[in-house]
Amino acid sequence: MRIAIATDAWSPQINGVVTSLRETSEELRRQGHEVLMITPEGRRSIPCPTYPEIRLALLQGRRISKELDAFRPDCIHIATEGTLGLSVRRYCRRRGLAFTTAYHTQFPEYIRQRFPIPLAWTVAALRWYHGAGSNTMVPTRSIKDLLQDRGFGDNVVIWSRGVQTEVFRPVSEKVYELPRPIWINVGRVAVEKNIEHFLQLDLPGSKVIIGDGPERMRLMKAYPGCYFPGYKFGSELAAHLSDADVFVFPSKTDTYGLVMLEAMACGLPIAAMPVTGPIDVVRHGVTGILDHDLGRACRAALVLDRTACRIYAESRSWRNSTREFVSHLVPSRFPAAASHQVAAGD
């Protein structure tokens, strides 16, 4: 099949959305599909407010139309709700083409933490946005239930995630010369990740925050006793994870938390709260501890069997994830059912 995927999240951004789409597009090609990635790369863009590392492409409607007309996709998937996603959505609606969407990020909660905008407004906007698609793909059962409770309808389907177990694996290399135990968090250092809650916990040993983001400099100044080594990738990140004792995931707003799978693949147990993301990714008492008291979860996770974490991660592959993704795609009906009339209400 020819599959077009539109995403506003792409390299050089570093997050779970980019990782998921990059791995999926590569696996699609390995499975014999042709893939057109419509990304901000090489397009005019501006920094996203409060997230300058995210670039929002501008005035791309005509160019995108030419790209899609030339590619003639069998299926169209819109992965994000940014400017590129809106452009492709508009293209599909004007031509009467079917498409699917994905809900990777809890935007209502993220926006609410930055601006005094009522949650109901952003929920309504997202319901309008995704409602035009044939399927809305979400990573977990709890997110599916959440969206359906918010009136997103019955076309919400689960597209699970995978992990590169050949890259993320237990290694014996020693990385840290810090007091033990090592409590580690990896990801975007931003307010919605609730990292400061982790840093405020009274725990023995040392805390390590791997990653970067708008909150990093402030947190480094506020918590000088913590270690902030910046971004790490691939085998180097695997070594940092393997040499830690517990992966601490304080976020309350993630839809999945792909980095938890990467940590478990390195044999690292998880400490998190029983909220969306962890409740679907972590096997409580086996690969991690879920507790509203995050400090208590951290201490309990210290004694878990690291081998069980690795075994669990090995059951999650990008091959299976991509097959699930393909199963949720719908024929775009390009170009036979093309219509140049804008649908009512759009």
Structural domain harbouring 201 = 182-316
pLDDT digits (tens, 9 = 90+) for 66-88: 999 999 999 999 999 989 999 99
CB 266 within 8 A of CB 166: no
Q: Where are the beta strands (DSSP E) in 187-297?
A: 206-210, 227-230, 246-249, 270-272, 288-290
Q: Is the same domain home to 198 and 267?
A: yes
Domain membership flag for residue 333:
no
- What are the phi and psi torsion angles at 212 (to 5°)? -150, 170
Please report the pLDDT score of residue 340 as a whole number: 41
Phi-psi region of 153 (alpha: psi -120 to 50; beta: other; left: phi over 0): left
pTM of the predicted model as reported, rounded to 2 decimal places: 0.83
For the residues of 185-204, what is the DSSP string, one character each? Answer: EES--SGGGTHHHHHHS--S
Q: Is the same domain home to 208 and 297?
A: yes
CB 76 within 8 A of CB 332: yes
Q: Is the same domain home to 155 and 283?
A: no
Q: Is the same domain home to 251 and 188?
A: yes
How far is it, in rounded angstroms, from Cα 118 to Cα 109? 10
Domain membership flag for residue 340:
no
Confidence of residue 113 (pLDDT cuts 50, 70, 90): low
Q: Is the same domain home to 152 and 224?
A: no
Domain membership flag for residue 21:
yes
List the single range of 58-62, 144-148, 154-158 with lowest mean pLDDT.
58-62
User: Which residue is listed with tokens 């998880």?
Assistant: 270
Above 80 in pLDDT, residue 336?
no
Q: Is the same domain home to 192 and 235?
A: yes
Total number of domains constituting the chain = 2
User: Which residue is listed with tokens 């995403």?
Assistant: 7
The CB density around residue 133, as the number of other CB atoms within 10 Å, is 20
Cα 267 off chain centre by? 21
Sign of the CA dihedral running 112, 81, 319, 232: negative
Domain membership flag for residue 342:
no
Domain membership flag for residue 68:
yes
User: Average of pLDDT values for 12-41?
Assistant: 93
Mean pLDDT score of the chain, rounded to an integer? 91
Confidence of residue 334 (pLDDT cuts 50, 70, 90): confident
CATH of the domain at 49: 3.40.50.2000
Task: Determine the length of the chain.
Answer: 346
Q: Is the same domain home to 8 and 142?
A: yes
User: Average of pLDDT values for 189-202?
Assistant: 95
List the single range of 117-121, 125-129, 320-324 with lowest mean pLDDT.
117-121
User: Average of pLDDT values for 291-298?
Assistant: 98
Q: Is the same domain home to 101 and 188?
A: no
Q: Is the same domain home to 302 and 258?
A: yes
Burial class (CB in 10 A: 0-12, 13-18, 19+), 112: middle
Above 90 in pLDDT, residue 44?
no
User: Average of pLDDT values for 232-259?
Assistant: 95
Alpha-carbon distance values, 58 to 42, 43, 126 (Å): 11, 8, 20
Q: Is the same domain home to 146 and 8?
A: yes
List the single range of 12-16, 194-198, 276-280, 298-302 with lowest mean pLDDT.
12-16
pLDDT digits (tens, 9 = 90+) for 295-318: 999 999 999 999 999 999 999 999
Domain membership flag for residue 341:
no
End-to-end C-alpha distance for the chain, whole angstroms = 29
Q: Is the same domain home to 93 and 226?
A: no
Q: Is the same domain home to 245 and 305?
A: yes
